[in-house]
Structure 1
Amino acid sequence: MFQIKISIADQTLKLMQGDQLHSEFLVSTALNGAGETNNSGCTPRGDHYIRAMIGEGLPLNAVFVGRRFTGEIYNPNLAEMFPERDWILTRIMWLCGTEIGKNRLGHVDSMQRYIYIHGTPDPEPMGVAKSHGCIRMRNTDLVSLFELVTTGTPVSIEE
Structure 2
Amino acid sequence: MSTDLRLEVSVDDQQMRVFRGTDIVRTYIISTATKGVGFQPGSFRTPTGNFKITDKIGADAPTGTIFKAREPQGVWTTDSPPTCDDLILTRILRISGLDPENANSYDRYIYIHGTNREDLLGQPNSHGCIRMGNADVIELFDLVEPGVPMTITPPSNHRGKLFFFDCDSTLSTIEGIDELARVRGEKVYQDVVALTHAAMNGEIPLTDVFPRRMEIIQPDLETCEAVASLYIETITPGVRELVERLKADGWTLIILSGGFAPLIEPLARELGIDHVEAVPLHLDPEGRYAGYGSDYPTTRNGGKNEIIREWKAALRPNKVVMMGDGVSDLETKPDVDLFIGFGGVVRRPLVMNGSDLWIEKMSDFATDRI
Question: C-alpha distance in 2, partners of 1:79/1:42?
Answer: 27
Distance in 1 of aligned mates of 2:79 and 2:21: 43
Structure number with higher helix proportion:
2
> Following superposition of structure 1 onto structure 2, how do residues 12-91 of structure 1 map, counting pairs within 5 Å?
12-70=15-73, 72-76=74-78, 78-80=80-82, 83-91=83-91
The letter of the residue matching 1:97 is: G
Residues matched between the structures, number: 151
Give the alignment's TM-score, normalised by structure 1.
0.91
Q: Which runs of 4+ in 1 moved over 3 A?
A: 76-80
* CA apart distance, 1:122: 5.2
| Aligned residue number for residue 120 of structure 2 | 125
User: Structure 2, unaligned stretches of length 5 or more?
Assistant: 155-370
Separation of aligned partners in 2, 1:124 and 1:11: 14
CA contact (8 A) 2:52 2:149 kept: yes
Say if 2:111 is the partner of 1:116. Answer: yes
One-letter identity of the residue aligned with 1:22: V
Q: RMSD over aligned Cα, in angstroms?
A: 1.2
Larger strand share, 1 or 2? 1
Deviation at 1:79, TM superposition (A): 3.9
Task: Indicate the structure whose relative CO is greater, using CA pairs within 8 Å and at least 6 residues apart.
Answer: 1
**1:125 Cα offset (Å):** 1.4
C-alpha distance 122-94 of structure 1, shift in aligned 2 (>3 A): same
Return the offset for 1:85.
Answer: 2.3
Which residue does the alignment assign to 2:135?
Answer: 140
Q: Secondary structure at the match of 1:151?
A: coil
Counterparts in 2 of 1:24 and 1:135: CA distance versus 1, 3 Å: same
Deviation at 1:112, TM superposition (A): 0.6
Q: For each residue in 1:113-134, what CA deviation from the matched residue of structure 2 results, as whole angstroms up to 9, or x when unmatched?
A: 1000000025431111000000
Contact residue 16 and residue 22 of structure 1 kept, 8 A:
yes
Are positions 1:5 and 2:8 aligned together?
Answer: yes
Which amino acid is 1:133 matched to?
G
SS in 1 for 2:138: helix
Give 1:78 deviation, angstroms.
4.1
What TM-score do you get using the length of structure 2 for normalisation? 0.40
Alignment identity in percent?
35
Tell me if the contact between 1:122 and 1:139 (Cα under 8 Å) persists in the aligned partners: no
SS in 2 for 1:15: strand
